[in-house]
Amino acid sequence: MSAPPASLEESNRLFPLPESEARRADLRKWILNYVPKGAIGAEIGTFRGQFSEVLLKFLEPRKVYFVDPWTLHGEFFGDAADPALTAADALPTALALQEARWRAAQFPNTESVFIEGRFPECAARIDDKLDWLYLDADLRLEPTLAALQAATEVMAPKGILFGNEWWPNTSTARNEVFQALGQFTRKSKYELIAAGPFGQWAIRHRGAWKTKK
């Protein structure tokens, strides 16, 4: 690539996302009915920002932290991302970050903060208590448990922690997030409030929602 794309439209022409990705983003948005609008949130695993647009449009947040390793992977994503989403690994990591910035810029009423880092190691760089956090990462059991614990430490008392990759089918290797959520909710004060279609789930602190007498 002689010169980087000058716009989101040009980048999408050079490195198109599969049509199925747009459909998948639309099918996931049912979970947003459990999340407060006009609040402060974070998206862990922003990548090219395709689901960021859904979060920004539907939730109309005051401020969002977008977190992803991006260029920490190197010039390209390699095995860290699905080749179908990176044009067979031709998409530069720096351009994926720029795409996320372009998408967020379409929502000027939201303050957007971009953090290049691996969660939970970079959790301390989130300066606000969050009303919501979306965890969109293909994680194994132990890393998911660590991410869940770190996420709860940056949540506001009534914050909603939600995310992707909830697959209860034990015959597939993709169900480790499901296992992690089961372990976490049994051992913590968080409870599952929604889970199901297209791998989406949401939990909240049960004590913060008890009716006071």
pLDDT in tens, 18-77: 999 889 999 999 999 999 999 999 999 999 999 999 999 999 999 999 999 999 999 999
Query: In terms of residues, how long is the chain?
Result: 213
Q: Which of 6-10, 14-18, 190-194, 206-210 has the lowest mean pLDDT?
A: 206-210
What's the mean per-residue pLDDT of the chain? 94
Question: Distance between CA atoms of 25 and 37, rounded to whole angstroms?
Answer: 18
Question: Distance between CA atoms of 90 and 76, rounded to whole angstroms?
Answer: 7
Name the pLDDT band for 169 (thresholds 50, 70, 90): confident
pLDDT, tens only, 107-140? 999 999 999 999 999 999 999 999 999 999 767 8
* Numbers of helices and strands, H then E, in the chain: 6, 7
Burial of 105 (0-12, 13-18, 19+ CB in 10 A): exposed
**Given this model, what pLDDT does residue 207 score?**
82
Name the pLDDT band for 210 (thresholds 50, 70, 90): low
Q: pTM of this prediction?
A: 0.94
**Given this model, what pLDDT does residue 148 score?**
96
